[in-house]
Structures are given as structure tokens and as C-alpha cells.
Amino acid sequence: MTTYTATVTVRLKHGVLDPEAETTKRALERLGYELEALRFTEQYEVDLEAESAEDAEERATEMADRLLANPTIHDYDVVVTEA
């Protein structure tokens, strides 16, 4: 078994209201920054033992599907690296 780190990045789907990002975007624009868009994301790093990187990715994807992301309003990406 090998130790892997799975990074799961969760973000709201396009079209879902993101009040935290909207508030931050307005504040940055008041500071003089020109932004096209801003999105808030959450990132989870999961260290796990697995037979392969593919197995680790499959397990992390299952975690995202079952708990870390709400499929109705969230999209997510999973990236696995050897720890």
C-alpha cells in the first residue's frame, strides 16, 4: 500500500448564487481591482492508503459524492498525488 494525498476542490455550479464571492468581489473592486468574476471554493486534502493512484482517486471521488459536495449545487475536481 502507498500513501496518497487526494485534493478535492469543491465549488458552486455556475448559476448558483455565491454571496461570499460576490461580497469579496465588490470589496476588491472598491480597492481598485478589475475582476471579470470571482468564485469561492473549498479544498479538502485527504491522506489515504491505497493500492494505486486510481484506487485513491476512486475513493476520494466517492467521499466527494457522499459528503464533501452536494451534487445539486456543487461541482468538484479530484487530484491525487503520491505523499
Cα gap 52→57, rounded to integer Å: 9
pLDDT the model gives residue 80: 98
Q: Looking at residue 24, what is its pLDDT?
A: 97
Instruction: Return the pLDDT at 1.
Output: 92
pLDDT for the residue numbered 43: 98
Determine which helix (DSSP H) or strand (DSSP E) holds 4, and give its type and residue range.
strand 2-12
pLDDT at 64: 98
* DSSP type of residue 13: P
pLDDT of residue 41: 97
Nearest-5° angle of CA 63, CA 11, CA 62? Answer: 15
Which 8-state DSSP code applies to residue 17?
A: -
Residue 32 CB contacts under 8 Å (≥ 6 apart), including other chains: none
Residues of the chain with pLDDT under 70: none
